[in-house]
Amino acid sequence: MTDPQIADPIVDLQRERERLRSSERRTVPPIDYGGGGPHDPGMEARVARLEQDMQEIKSDLKAVRSDLSDIKVKLAGLDGRFAGLEGRLGALPTSLQLLGFAVAVFLAAGVFRFFEPRMFPAAPPQPALTQPR
């Protein structure tokens, strides 16, 4: 069961839609498919405006294509530069390798310090000085 308060606006909307459709049929001239002249007097102006807009769109599209080709050339140049950079980055030592090198340097310094050769022999002990009596 439908609520009468809801059904009435729906019927009113349907009637209004049918009324608008029938008024559109009366105001829009029919299209002649038989090859006769135009029935809409503003059609020539509308078509001319569309043609002008299409010319503007075509010129804008040419500018966009030109910009895109420039971007492609620049990207190709960057690709070559990044390829060289990738090879150079692969040759760099890793953090673990750098840490290992630093530890090895400190260990070598400690070992050399421990086994340091003495260039000069130790001086013989000096006799104790006695004080005059």
Domain boundaries, the chain: 41-115
Give me the DSSP letters along the chain: ---HHHHHHHHHHHHHHHHHHHHHHHHSPPP-TTS---S-TTHHHHHHHHHHHHHHHHHHHHHHHHHHHHHHHHHHHHHHHHHHHHHHHHHSPPHHHHHHHHHHHHHHHHHHHHTPPPSSPPPPPPPPPPPP-
Q: What are phi and psi of 87, to 5 degrees?
A: -65, -40
CA atoms within 13 A on the CB side of 39: 10
Q: Provide the residue-wise pLDDT of the chain in tens; the chain has 133 residues.
A: 455 555 566 667 777 878 777 765 555 555 555 555 556 677 788 888 999 999 999 999 999 999 999 999 888 888 777 777 777 777 788 888 889 999 999 998 888 777 766 666 666 777 777 766 6
- For residue 127, the model assigns a pLDDT of 72
- Give the chain's end-to-end CA distance (angstroms, integer): 140
